[in-house]
């Protein structure tokens, strides 16, 4: 008898069974609380005669907390139901007082029941806009609601600036982002996605098809799956960042065939940079070209690549003289080059599992931005970063082993983690720059700078002592265990973006046109420039830190050469 009892006792002690038992107990407790709340909310004693006997289920639902005051305003609620409400709200029906934790739990259950009831009462076949809780166009936004439109992800019309926000998306937030980039229309989709553009989508649908609430503004409509709620942007909200303006790119020689190189034009007297930039922005061209009184709109192309700038004095002549010359001034308009902004998941699972590996702070996020726009496919991540998802990295939410992304970001090292991948792009950056960038990110996020107090605290030397060795071991491990590698230096990618990016997409087995690569170069910064006050001429590295880091630089340089790769760039050499 003792032996079976001992076995049972041993079985009960197992962790998995205990977790299961605790979960079951939690669910049973919740059910009992639900039943208790229903019991104490109903009238005590014999059932009252009269209209209460004829009440529909909805009236009983109100008695147990399923129906709130907003539902009573629905014209479908009968007078008998309202009479029953008064009876159910009599003192006899008030819930008895109980412990604080029980009252709190009952409040949570009551909220859940209310949500369920409103879902139950809505007509699944009728238009959602008719219900009392249906989202409506935002009345407090400054833009004008244009309508609900069908959205085809492959041929998206609003494909300028794009961002997501799973928790705080509002109509005003989306409008401000689009206004900052000088776009006219802001489209919201699926409650959390924002798209900008200057042309309306082609297919308008019924207003009732846009029935998703904005994640950060309950009651306001933010499209639906495959549906865009489009607003006309009028002006920036108070406190928003300033609207972007045209940026001077330089003086260039005109291409041989102006008509072919410049698809649109505006010829008028006294044309200004603002006039030309506004005209080209409205047409969604990223470049505004001025020659005298002539304004042209263009994209970067192999015939007009903006790589061979000339002396700016050649463009500084009076308009009439410049009109006859063969030089022009080029300005970057606020809008994005949309030839390379379309992205999607791979249509079939990738047969080759590719990593985009780097030490933290080495520019992995920026490299992902370039790869996504060059290939047209999302990149994944070994981690999940909501900030990056909101910036447009939709692959952040995809499981890193789904093989639906072109490559997967990782900072991992070690044999087991490396051998999971079939091949990898190994991105290396100067450790001095990487350490500063990662420390900024830890202290102030992806786009901020660490405060002076952070650099002067004990936190900075501790960070260098622990992370500097990681920079070295990360490269050494990937060189040792990586199956198929492409080594890319961040500095080389900055200097020669198009040739280096072409090599990267070839490694990923993707064919890309020269126009698309030039589009990526034109949009190369994306949304990843740090904002705020940059520390003034800060030299955070002490002589002891430099000795430590320089030793790791020599080690990595030798390892690269031993594996038949070019050594580290010259600027890595100990300072």
pLDDT tens-digit series, residues 463-512: 999 999 999 999 999 999 999 999 999 999 999 999 999 999 999 999 99
Same domain, 455 and 428: yes
What's residue 326's pLDDT?
Answer: 84
Give phi and psi for 24, each to the nearest 5.
Answer: -65, -40
DSSP structure class, residue 534: P
Low pLDDT (below 70) residues in the chain = 1-18, 21, 30-142, 152-155, 235-243, 317-324, 527-537, 573-575
What's residue 35's pLDDT?
Answer: 54
155 burial level (CB within 10 Å; 0-12, 13-18, 19+): exposed
Residues 6+ apart with CB under 8 A from 534: 449
How, if at all, do strands 204-205 and 247-253 pair?
Answer: unpaired
Beta strand ranges found along 292-335 (DSSP E): 294-298, 327-332
Residue 85 covered by a domain:
no
Same domain, 440 and 560: yes
Q: What is the pTM of this model?
A: 0.71
End of a domain among 282, 302, 332?
332
Q: Which helix (H) or strand (E) holds 107?
A: helix 100-121
- 357 alpha carbon, distance to own chain's centre: 21
Residue 117 covered by a domain:
no
- 8 A C-beta contact, residue 571 and residue 491: yes
pLDDT tens by residue, 160-194: 778 888 788 899 889 888 888 888 899 999 898 89
> In which domain, by residue range, is 186 found?
145-232
Residues 6+ apart with CB under 8 A from 344: 153, 154, 376, 377, 378
Structure tokens at 207: 């207003």
Residue 569: how many CB atoms within 10 A of its CB? 16
Smallest Cα–Cα separation from 181: which of 65, 16, 335?
A: 335
Q: What is the CATH number of the domain that holds 407?
A: 3.40.50.300
What's residue 491's pLDDT?
Answer: 94
Smallest Cα–Cα separation from 436: which of 456, 413, 453, 460?
A: 460
DSSP structure class, residue 122: S
**Alpha carbon distance 348, 353 (integer Å):** 13
Residue 82 covered by a domain:
no
Same domain, 254 and 172: no
- 8 A C-beta contact, residue 209 and residue 148: yes
Residue 55 covered by a domain:
no
**Coil, strand or helix: which one is 547?**
helix
What's residue 293's pLDDT?
Answer: 85
Same domain, 413 and 497: yes
Q: Which helix (H) or strand (E) holds 217?
A: strand 217-221
Residues 6+ apart with CB under 8 A from 101: none
Residue 65 covered by a domain:
no
What's residue 99's pLDDT?
Answer: 38
Same domain, 326 and 370: no
What's residue 484's pLDDT?
Answer: 96
**Alpha carbon distance 250, 356 (integer Å):** 34
**Coil, strand or helix: which one is 360?**
coil
- 8 A C-beta contact, residue 67 and residue 58: yes
Residue 550 covered by a domain:
yes
Same domain, 200 and 282: no
Number of domains in the chain: 3
DSSP 137-200: --SSSSSEEEEEEE--STT-S--SSEEE-TTT--HHHHHHHHHHTT-SEEEEETTTEEEEESS-
Same domain, 222 and 311: no
Same domain, 410 and 558: yes
For the chain, the distance separating the N- and C-terminal CA atoms, rounded to the nearest angstrom, is: 78
Same domain, 263 and 381: no
Residue 208 covered by a domain:
yes
End of a domain among 232, 266, 287?
232
Same domain, 323 and 369: no
Same domain, 210 and 180: yes
Residue 57 covered by a domain:
no
What's residue 120's pLDDT?
Answer: 37
**Alpha carbon distance 285, 333 (integer Å):** 7
Same domain, 197 and 303: no
End of a domain among 186, 201, 232?
232
């Amino acid at each position: 008898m003792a032996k079976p009892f001992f076995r049972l006792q041993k079985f009960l002690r197992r962790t998995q069974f205990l977790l299961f038992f605790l979960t079951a107990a939690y669910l049973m407790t919740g059910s009992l609380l639900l039943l208790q709340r229903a019991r104490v909310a109903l009238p005590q004693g014999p059932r009252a005669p009269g209209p209460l006997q004829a009440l529909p289920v909805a009236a009983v639902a109100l008695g147990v907390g399923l129906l709130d005051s907003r539902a009573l305003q629905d014209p479908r609620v009968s007078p008998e139901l309202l009479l029953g409400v008064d009876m159910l709200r009599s003192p006899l029906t008030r819930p008895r007082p109980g412990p604080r934790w029980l009252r709190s739990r009952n409040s949570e259950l009551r909220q859940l029941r209310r949500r369920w009831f409103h879902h139950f009462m809505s007509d699944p076949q009728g238009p959602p806009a008719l219900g009392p809780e249906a989202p409506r166009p935002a009345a407090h936004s400054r833009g004008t609601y244009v309508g609900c439109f069908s959205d085809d992800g492959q041929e998206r019309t609003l494909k300028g600036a794009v961002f997501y926000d799973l928790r705080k998306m509002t109509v005003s937030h989306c409008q401000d982002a689009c206004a900052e980039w000088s776009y006219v229309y802001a489209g919201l989709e699926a409650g959390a996605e924002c798209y900008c553009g200057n042309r309306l989508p082609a297919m308008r649908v019924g207003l009732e098809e846009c029935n998703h609430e904005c994640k950060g503004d309950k009651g306001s409509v933010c499209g639906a799956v495959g549906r865009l709620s489009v607003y006309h942007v009028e002006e920036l909200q108070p406190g928003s960042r300033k609207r972007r303006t045209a940026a001077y790119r330089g003086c260039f020689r005109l291409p041989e065939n102006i008509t072919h190189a410049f698809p649109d034009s505006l010829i008028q007297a006294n044309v200004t940079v603002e006039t030309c930039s506004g005209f080209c922005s409205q047409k969604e061209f990223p470049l505004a070209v001025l020659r005298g009184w002539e304004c042209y709109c263009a994209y970067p192309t192999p015939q007009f690549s903006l790589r061979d700038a000339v002396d700016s004095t050649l463009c500084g002549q009076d308009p009439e003289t410049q009109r006859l010359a063969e030089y022009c001034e080029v300005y970057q308009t606020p809008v994005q080059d949309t030839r390379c902004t379309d992205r999607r998941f791979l249509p079939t699972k990738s047969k080759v599992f590719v990593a985009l590996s780097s030490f933290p702070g080495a520019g992995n996020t920026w490299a992902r931005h370039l790869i996504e726009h060059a290939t047209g496919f999302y990149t994944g991540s070994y981690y999940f970063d909501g900030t990056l998802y909101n910036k447009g990295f939709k692959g952040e939410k995809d499981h890193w082993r789904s093989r639906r992304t072109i490559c997967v970001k990782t900072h991992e090292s070690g044999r087991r983690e490396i051998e999971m991948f079939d091949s990898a792009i190994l991105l290396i950056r100067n450790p001095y720059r990487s350490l500063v960038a990662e420390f900024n990110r830890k202290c102030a996020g992806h786009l901020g700078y660490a405060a002076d107090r952070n650099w002067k605290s004990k936190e900075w030397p501790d960070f260098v002592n622990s992370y500097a060795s990681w920079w070295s071991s990360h490269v050494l491990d990937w060189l040792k265990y990586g199956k198929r590698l492409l080594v890319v230096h961040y500095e080389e990618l900055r200097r020669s973006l198009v040739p280096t990016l072409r090599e990267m997409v070839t490694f990923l087995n993707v064919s890309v046109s020269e126009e698309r690569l030039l589009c990526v170069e034109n949009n190369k910064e994306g949304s990843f420039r740090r904002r705020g006050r940059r520390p003034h001429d800060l030299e955070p590295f002490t002589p002891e830190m430099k000795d430590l880091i320089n030793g790791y630089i020599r080690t990595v340089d030798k390892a690269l050469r031993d594996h038949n790769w070019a050594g580290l760039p010259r600027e890595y050499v100990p300072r």
